Structures are given as structure tokens and as C-alpha cells.
Chains A and B, each alone.
Chain A
Amino acid sequence: MRRGERHGRARRRELGALVAVMAAVTLGACGVTPRTEAAPTKTVTVLPKGAEIVHPSPPSASTSCDATASLPPPATMPTPGQMPKGSYMAQIQARGYLKVGVDQNTYLWGYRDPVTGQLTGFDTDMLRQISDAIFGSDDPKYIHFVIVPNADRAQAVQEGEVDVVAETMTINCAREKLVNFSTVYYEAGQKILVPAGSTITGPQDLGGKRVCAPAGSTSLENLVAPGMPRHIQLWAANDTTDCLVMLQQGQVDAISTDDAILIGLAAQDPNTKIVGTPAFSSEPYGMAMSKSHPDFTSFVNGVLAEVRANGTWAQIYDSYLQPFIGGPAPAPPAATYR
């Protein structure tokens, strides 16, 4: 998987030089007189679309709730392909496919494999377990992927656009009011991604640095929480991958968000490292479903219980995350029920 033999950083320097030479040649060749301020020192800043400096407010005091406790699974799981009459799963079966909401730009979690053209990743594989459990077959025709923007995840579930969303979505009390969450299927936490040579070792070193996080995320809020260094220059990008583009272009010094996502970014740039262990926030991931059919949430929890128990969880972990984290697969997060 790790194919970045060429040093991305060195390559980028070459590229920068090439760009400068080309610009000079083009300018010279066509006789455009550069304006005085446009001399060779002129730096053209190209940012990803929508990237901007932001000033978020600190996270609101956590409302006490036990959001990670979900509905218990049914006493006996229905046989795949024979969903109980009147259940929401029977409706899905009648429709002929499960509609799931995913991301296609989060490496290792939900992304399109350029070789097969198929959506793949930890989240998408977990979702396939649900369609397998409903239809009793892993034929791809039984699962339809809908790309749901991060900001629309709860809405897509509430409005029935999709049956279930699995998109590195942190279970929290605010979201718990809008949707039903499954039990926790991955324990993430906020860390920091920096260039390999960086002196930043944890959040305490971020003072005065430029740090990127996805727009509208709790990651941004956590960076201005009490106890964090002051004067962090915060950049919000539309997408975490845009943060990596900015890091590679030298426009930010660090990226800070869920370690699960950072692992995917680090996997795309061998010249980076993840620091800030242990994580300075807890981000338990859950699948989101509509509150209108709690039987479906119970069913999904049943699938997750099987997936934890029968080694599938470890298998999925091994195929996406293990190569970049190393060591044996940890125990899957334990389920808690109401």
C-alpha cells in the first residue's frame, strides 16, 4: 500500500522550481513587463476552494447525556433474506436495496478505489455487513451508495434520503437529539498531523502555528478549548484532504482532527507523522439512523454485535488501518445499551 518511494517534499521543491522557471520563461518570451512588485520574489498563493482563516468559539459545556448507549439488539436476529413482516428491514428488502450515506474523499474510510472504481473503506465495509445481513448476499446490487456531505449527514437520515449513514461521525448529545446512533464501532480521538521534520509534538506546541481542520467541525472548536495554547491561526477547509493539500503546499504547519482521519491523510503522504498521543478529545464513531424506525437501529446493533464477535471487525481493521498503525488489531469498542 505504501508506494510513496519518491519523497513528496523533494518532488514538490522540484516542481516549485520548474514552475518558477516556466513562469519566468513564459513572461520573458511574451514580453510582458512584470510589474515591479511582480519580480521573481512574487509568490502566488493558490489555496483549495473555500479555505479560510476562522475564529471558532470554544465547545459548549458538554450537556450530560449518555449518547453512546444505544438500543439493544433484538433477542434473536432474523435470518438473512427473511426480514420480519412489518419491520423497516422488510421495507428495505421489498425495495431491493439498502440506501447508505457515505463519504468518497476520506482515505481508508470512504473513498473510491481508482483501480476498481468502487467505493471502499472501513465505513463502507461496515455498511456492507448490514446489507449482507438483510439480503443474505454480498451482491453489490443490494447496496446503493449516496455521497452525503458531512454537514448534511443528520438531515439525510432524518429526511429518509438514506437508511443509514456511516461517515466518521462522532456520537454526541447534540446529534443524538436528531438521529438514532448505533453502538460505537470505532473509538477515534483528536490528534495532530505534521510534516516529518516538524518540532511540534503535541497541542502544547501549536501556539503561533497555522493549523487546519475541516470547516464546521468540532475539531476546530476543540483547538480553542480552555487549556489550548493561545494564538493558534486556525484554517478551515471544506474537506480534510484539502488540509493535506495546504500542508503539502506549506500553507499550514499542522492538521488537527480525528486520528482515524489523520491516519488516512498520513497514508497519502509518507513524509508526515501523527503526534499528540494520547488524543486530546474522544470521538466515538457511530452509524446514524432515523428516529422513526428504532427497530432498524436495534437490528444494526445486532449486526455490529456479530461483526465484533465473529472477527469481521478485526478483518476490516486489518485491511484498512493496520498497515498504517501497525501491531495487532485492538479489541473492537465494547457496546453499551440503554
Chain B
Amino acid sequence: MTAPLSHPTLGPEARSEAVRRATPARLRFAAVTIGVLALLTGLVGALATTQRQSATTAAWQAAEPLMVTAQAIDTSLSDADTTAAASFLQGRVEPAALQSRYETDLTSASADVAAAARDAGSDPQLAASLETLSTDLPLYAGIVQEADFNERQAFYPLAAAYLAEANNLMRSSILPAAAQVYGTEVDRLASEHTTAVSPWLVALAAAFLVALLVALVVAQRRLTRHFHRRWNVALAVATAIVLVVGVWAAVALATQDSGVNDAQANGSRPVSTFTDARIVALRAQADDELTLLTRDSDPSYQADYRTAAADLTRLLAPADTGAATPSSFEADQLTKADAAFGLYTSLHRQIRAADEAGELAGAVALASGSGSHQLPAVSSRLNSTLSAGIDGSQTTFVRASSGAAADLNGLTWGVAIAAILVALLALIGFQPRIAEYR
């Protein structure tokens, strides 16, 4: 501080001013401030991109498969329930196709329950639901087997009573547990999505970035003014790096954001809609079958059918996605499903009318025949349209999510390396000026 200053071109007044303002301590302080700011910007930026990338990746590599598994449990079980009823309604002992469909449903549900349990984590409610599924599924299978055994003995009423008991276990315990597992996984995916587009860290990083830019520009202007150097190459390069990385991050994050939103709007949301519709459609079908099959004293199946039909109508209505327009694929599948459900509804009316008019044999024929306008064919058309909706939306989801995750590839490292470079360049940029005071 006591070293004499010399600046050939400055007048004494100006020089003393420069002396006062550009002491080495100040210069060092500015260098360190910019360096630290650069490192902090890098740190927050890297955190933000890491958080987004890992949530985006987790959404499609972990949460979404779990949701698909949970959805598969729910639909397999609903399908098993309907299939068991259908095979009894057909009256022939174990129609081979239905028997194998029922078995496939149950085995894949068990396998999926095991898979879901592996990834259940520590959520106690999820664990409890999975335990319910594990214990009740074999019981369910046992009761259906008992129904089957009695049907083989031609003890039809007893077979039907066992089947009704199995159905009651399915609806009062198993399906609610499956729905709970499915709901948990849907929530988990939604929370990954929220994290994947979380704006807070990004906003903080952006604020740091702006502060860094401002600091760099101010520093350069002051250095230019006080030391009459037109360019401080190091600081200019640092500024350029900050700008480039800033633009890169902005573009990448915006693309990732829209990719995640696309995955949600045209992927996981319609997957959910189609899944719910499929489960409800299967329930409505089981209601119709069980009405004919088991209970002359239980009007609750038709009451349940009306609820299910109302739910299905709501689910198949043109999607209300808020601002986003549903993809043409989704709209097409919904239209097709709605048409298939229309056919189902009119068949349902015919079956009810026949049953109520006392033409039970006719009602049973409509509900179990193999013709293209009888229940098995009509319901399978509805089912396959809805599964096509699930599969198609699922493909969109995976494509959009993996794309969104890839959008951020390298950004974290880019930001981190850029931050270190900028910090170094700041030190380098100030070093000669500081050295002038030695």
C-alpha cells in the first residue's frame, strides 16, 4: 500500500483516484468474488440439471415401470375375475381359451406383485397392500378352484356360490389393494415429474448466472476505464463461456421441460385414463355375467354396473387436458373405445331385456355365445381397443421421457467445467493488474 504508484498517462488527480479505487486488495476481492460466484453458479446449475435429469430418468426407468407393473396387477386381476365368471357362464367345463386366460392372469398378477414388492421401498401402506395381495390371491385361486370342482360334479348352485364368494373377495379386498398399489405408483410418477420440471433450482441458477454476467461485465468496464486496456482477454473469454453455457442450458432445459410435459400429457396421463377405463370395463362385464350367473337375490351387481358404466362414459369422453390438446392417437383410441362401449351398452340392454322378460336362456346365449355380436366378442373389442390405447401411450411416454433425459446429457459436466474455467479465468484476468502493484 505504501509502494509508489506510477501511471504515465494519468494526471495526479485521476491517478490518486485510481490508486484509491484499484488497490490490489480490491482487485483481489473482485477476482475472488467473481471466482466464487462462478463456482456457486456452476454448483447450483449442476445441481439443477442433475436433479432434473435424474428425476426425468427415474420417471421413465423406475417410477413408470412400477406404475405399469401396478397397472398390470390391477388389470390382470380384473380380467381374471371376469374370465372366471365368463367360463362358468359358458357352462362347458373349462373352455380351454378362458381357462388359460384366467391362469395367465393369475400367474402374471402374482409375478407382478412379487416385482412390485421388490421395489416397494419403505412405504408401509404399500407394503400392507402388497401383503394383502400376496395372501388373498392364493385364497382367491383356491375358492375359484372349489367352484370349478363343484361345477365338474354338476353341483351348479354350489359352484356359483363359491364363484360369488371369490368375486366378493376380489372386490372387497384384492382389487382395492391393487388399486392402492396402482395409486401409489401413479403418485410416485407424478412426483418425479414435478421434480423433473421443478423451476426453483433452475431459477436460482439463472439468478446466479445473471449476477455472474453482471459482475464480469462491470469488472471489465472498470478495468478498461482504470487501466486503459481495451480487452482483458481472460475475462472476455470467461464472459463468452458464461453466455454460451447459459444459452446451452436454457435451450436444453426448455426442451427437456417440454419433453417431460409431452411424456406426461401424451404418455402417462392417457396410460392412466386407458387403464382406468379398462378396469372399469372389465368390472361392468363381470357385473353382467354375475347377475346372470350367481345371484337371484343380489341386485347390487346391476347397481354396480350402472356406476361402472357412468365412470366409463366419463373416462371415454374427449380428454379434458386443460391447455394441451390430446394427441390424435389418443383421440382416435378414445373414439374407437367409445364406439366399442356403445356396442357393449346396446348388448347389455338386450341381455337385461331378455333376462327381465324371462328369456333367461336367450340372455345367457347373448352373454356367452361366440358370435360377433355376443358378449365375449363385443367385450374383447372394447378391451383390445383400450389396451392398444395403453400400449400406444406407453410408447409415447418412453420416447418422450428418454428424449427429455437425453436433452440434458453433458449439461451437468458442461456447467461444472465451465464454472471452474470461468473462476480460473477470473483469477488469470485480474492477475496482471494485481501484479502491477508489486
- Chain A residues at the B interface, C-beta cutoff of 8 Å: 3-4, 11-12, 15-16, 18-19, 22-23, 26-27, 29-35, 38, 42, 44, 46-50, 97, 99-100, 103-107, 111-115, 117-119, 140, 144-151, 162, 238-239, 241-242, 244-245, 248, 264-265, 267-269
Contacts and interface: CB of A to CB of B under 8 A. Distances in A.
Interface string B297-312: 1110000000000000
Contacts of B172: 49
Contacts of A11: 149
B161 A144 contact: no
A97 B362 CA distance: 15
B413 interface: no
The size bracket of the interface on B is 35 or more
Contact of B357 (A44, A144, A149, A244): A144
A239 B161 contact: yes
Interface of B: 91, 93, 110, 113-118, 120, 127-128, 130-131, 134-139, 141-143, 145-146, 149-151, 153-162, 164-165, 167-169, 172, 294-299, 355-361, 364
13 contacts: A19-B141, A23-B134, A32-B127, A32-B130, A103-B296, A104-B157, A105-B296, A106-B157, A239-B296, A241-B161, A245-B158, A268-B150, A268-B153
A268 B158 contact: yes
Given A115-B154, A146-B358, 5 more contacts: A30-B118, A104-B296, A114-B156, A119-B361, A149-B299
Given A32-B127, A238-B298, A23 B138 contact: yes
Given A32-B134, A239-B161, A112 B156 contact: yes
A107 B157 contact: yes
A48 to B, nearest CB: 5
A288 B158 CA distance: 26
Contacts of A119: 360-361
B130 A268 contact: no
Contacts of B110: 26
Contacts of B364: 117
Contact of A99 (B143, B154, B358): B358
A19 B141 CA distance: 8
Given A12-B146, A30-B134, A32-B134, A244 B158 contact: yes
A245 B157 CA distance: 10
Given A31-B117, A162-B358, A268-B157, A149 B297 contact: yes
Nearest to A243: B161
Contacts of A22: 138, 141
Contacts of B359: 144
A140 B361 CA distance: 10
A49 B153 contact: no
A26 B360 contact: no
Nearest to B88: A114
A99 B358 CA distance: 7
Contact of B361 (A100, A115, A117, A267): A117
Contact of A118 (B93, B145, B361): B361
Contacts of B120: 32
Contacts of A267: 155
Contacts of B142: 15-16, 18-19
Contacts of B167: 49
A27 B150 CA distance: 29
A115 B92 CA distance: 7
A16 B150 CA distance: 16
Nearest to A162: B358
A195 to B, nearest CB: 15
B70 to A, nearest CB: 14
A16 to B, nearest CB: 8
Q: Which 4 A-B pairs have the closest CB atoms?
A: A144-B358, A30-B117, A22-B138, A30-B114
Contacts of B161: 48, 105, 239, 241-242, 244-245
Contacts of A117: 91, 361, 364
Interface centre among A23, A145, A149 (most CB of B within 10 A): A23
A34 B131 contact: yes
Contact of B155 (A31, A107, A144): A107
Contact of A268 (B117, B128, B131, B155): B155
Contacts of B128: 35
B168 A48 contact: yes
Contact of A107 (B93, B156, B169): B156
Contacts of A238: 295, 297-298
Nearest to A245: B161
